[in-house]
A and B are shown apart, each in its own frame.
Chain A
Amino acid sequence: MDVMKKVPVREQDPAARAKNFKEVCYGYNKEEAMQEAQRCIGCKNAKCIAGCPVSIDIPAFIGKIKTGDIEEAYQEISKYTSLPGVCGRVCPQESQCEGKCIRGIKGEPVSIGKLERFVADSAAASHYSQPAPQPANGHKIAVIGSGPAGLTCAGELAKMGCEVTIFEALHEAGGVLRYGIPEFRLPKVEVVAHEIEKVKDLGVKIETNVIIGKSVTIDELMDEEGYEAVFIGSGAGLPKFMGIPGENANGVFSANEYLTRNNLMKAYLDEYDTPIHSGKKVAVVGGGNVAMDAARTALRLGAEVHIVYRRSEAELPARVEEVHHAKEEGIIFDLLTNPVQIHEDENGWVSGLECVRMELGEPDESGRRRPQTVEGSNFILDVDTVIMSLGTSPNPLISSTTEGLDVNKWKCIVADEEHGKTTKEGVYAGGDAVTGAATVILAMGAGKQAAKAIYDYVTEK
């Protein structure tokens, strides 16, 4: 065994997985996990902990794996997070815990994410119990949104003894974990539903089909339904479009729509009623994780898929692992390419995506080299379906119906970074609703910090 390298993780063969929705990565077994755990040198001043938005004591849980005490490793992780199976799969470890790992200086960092996932999966398989919450303290809190921020905030408050109800607009809990991230990256029953059940086991109630701002307002929750504080974790759900001609043609979708049909509504399964237009030749515009998810979904539905991105590979915002998996599966990358128009046939269906070539100029304010159009380089990409994956912004349904809740010019809720305190008394917010589209783990971190601030608020007031 090469101690400088991670114990390789087993994955489904690319050719096979390109045709199914089963999970790509199989994860470690106990033997592999224990072997990988040995690579952790258990730093006293562990940098990895500082790299984790929910501050999991990483050396402590890995220490338990080293000795084969997986249940204890789970208890250790559970002190900090209710969603280890989710985080172990979708966190950008390379820029967080693993990015800080001392092992990473000369070799590969310890595979912290895969170890976390192993512990979570073992806990699910063996029904390990989680630490019991504090006795009920009688404080009643409402949490809006059951995505990573809301689930974490609710779970933390429940652990502290609060009576928490989550209000979810869709018919199933999980937010982006449910509608956004596909099954092949994050299994819905085994991981998402299971970890939501664990949050419910802490005493958290989840009321689905309630749209705050429409079904009931925040003021009504506080004045009429007796909630002392509210946490808003409603995410960044609104899709962006490019504003180019032809964008309303049939066969042009937001990544949100495409993924929601497939993931939440399970359009890929025969027994479900919701249709999806999978397309035969699909262009996915954008280069983030959501673009990779949409592309790999279209591929699995049987399409030839192109990623169309205006910068070069180095600037792709998606995780390296996702790009790598996408390439392995046969996604075609049309880089330095920018759409200018969508052509449609006489029935209003997409008949091609007109693009221009780009070249990289001087760095812009983001530090990335600014893409510039190569004049006269127009060409038509032969596709019948276009999926726009250009990012999302927060939904104004809540902010527009809640007096005293300030938003900034991007419609993000104004909240202080440390506590999530908004401009409205007793109302806290965190996750994408505050930051704009970011990651699952950052939302969890915000939910956790807000939980502490909310607890202090309701107990001190």
Chain B
Amino acid sequence: MYTILERRKLADQIYLMVVHAPRVAKACKPGQFVIVKMDEEGERIPLTICDYDRSAGTVTIVFQVVGASTERMAGLYGEDTFMDFVGPLGCPSELVEEDLDTLKKKKILFVAGGVGTAPVYPQVKWMHQQGIDVDVVIGAKNHEMLILEDEMRQVAGRLYVCTDDGSYGTPGMVTTVIEELADKGTKYDVCVAIGPMIMMKFVCLLTKELEIPTIVSMNPIMVDGTGMCGACRLQVGDEVKFACVDGPEFDGHLVDFDQAMKRQQMYKTEEGRAVLRVREGATHHGGCGHCGGDH
């Protein structure tokens, strides 16, 4: 059992939890992820590590309610437990593994979208601890949905915030801000973009044009997270990669986002049915016979 020591609502449908998981806290690095499972019946849910405290043996996760399982998870409070919490999974961020002197010479741009701000934070924090100031762009739907702004401000070099509806910061998408920065003549050696797939797709289209090598962090459907099931496979260039063991970070200019987005829809209907089951009880079990079931 893994105890939830702290639980905070960051925004509508976005929650932060600090979980006691000493083995994970001891071994994890920025860029890696965990899989959590609430209870016997729960799904295995992959979540990127947002922060960790090795001495306290804790790992911080941030998640957004997207389906039945995360909705159920949002109902957990401090002192509740996860039955399972396993990790760290995947490879650490490419940048934190790089030679420090080389890294210090680079001009780095981090782009975070929505709940993707959470996995960007530990990388920016790590950079800050190494004495590297990086530029960070955070995009959110609106001011209410913006998360970790204060935390990020403390560790980022320059922080740019934008909202889709213009309710805070620069109006527009993260790509708007990146374009503005480029127009001002800021040159970046590398960009790290983490957020919804559609955002990463458009950031990559832009950075390809701007000739900025771009790393993205993929969070496709997974089951075991150790390379066993292949559910998380992605087309990266001319190779098929498993996000759980080969990633989660990849060269964004090589990822087939359209395919990845289609694959992410795979259980949409099943998941939708599961939501109904939670909300409306036993009446929606196993399809009604008219909807035809699967897809």
Contacts and interface: CB of A to CB of B under 8 A. Distances in A.
A170 B224 contact: yes
Interface in A225-250: 237-239, 241, 247-248, 250
B226 A395 contact: yes
B53 interface: no
Interface in A338-370: 347-349
B224 to A, nearest CB: 6
Contacts of B85: 209
B231 A271 contact: no
A169 B226 contact: yes
A211 B230 contact: no
A275 interface: yes
Contact of B230 (A256, A271, A276, A277): A256
Interface string B185-214: 000000000000000000000000000000
Given A215-B88, A275-B270, A260 B223 contact: yes
Contacts of B27: 214-216
Contact of A256 (B24, B69, B229): B229
A208 interface: yes
Contacts of A407: none
Interface in A424-439: none
B201 to A, nearest CB: 15
Contacts of B86: 169, 171, 209-211, 215
B83 A275 contact: no
B263 A254 contact: no
A460 interface: no
A274 B262 CA distance: 19
A273 interface: yes
B248 to A, nearest CB: 13
B42 A273 contact: yes
Given A256-B229, A348-B259, A397-B227, A210 B294 contact: no
Nearest to B258: A348
B43 A274 contact: yes
A237 B69 CA distance: 26
B226 A171 contact: no
Nearest to B24: A215
A257 B230 contact: yes
Contacts of A279: 294
Interface in B277-291: 285-286
A165 interface: no
A19 interface: no
B266 A273 contact: no
B20 interface: no
Contact of A248 (B41, B42, B235, B285): B235
Interface in A244-278: 247-248, 250-251, 253-254, 256-257, 260-261, 265-266, 270-278
A327 interface: no
B23 A215 contact: yes
Nearest to B67: A273
A208 B286 CA distance: 31
Contacts of A216: 23, 26-27
Interface in A171-218: 171, 179, 208-211, 214-216
A260 to B, nearest CB: 5
Given A171-B86, A275-B267, 4 more contacts: A171-B84, A210-B23, A257-B229, A280-B294
15 contacts: A179-B224, A209-B84, A211-B226, A214-B27, A216-B26, A247-B240, A250-B263, A250-B265, A251-B266, A260-B229, A265-B44, A270-B285, A274-B43, A274-B44, A397-B226
Interface of A: 169-171, 179, 208-211, 214-216, 237-239, 241, 247-248, 250-251, 253-254, 256-257, 260-261, 265-266, 270-280, 347-349, 384, 395, 397
> Which 5 A/B pairs are nearest by Cβ-Cβ distance?
A275-B270, A348-B262, A257-B229, A209-B86, A171-B84
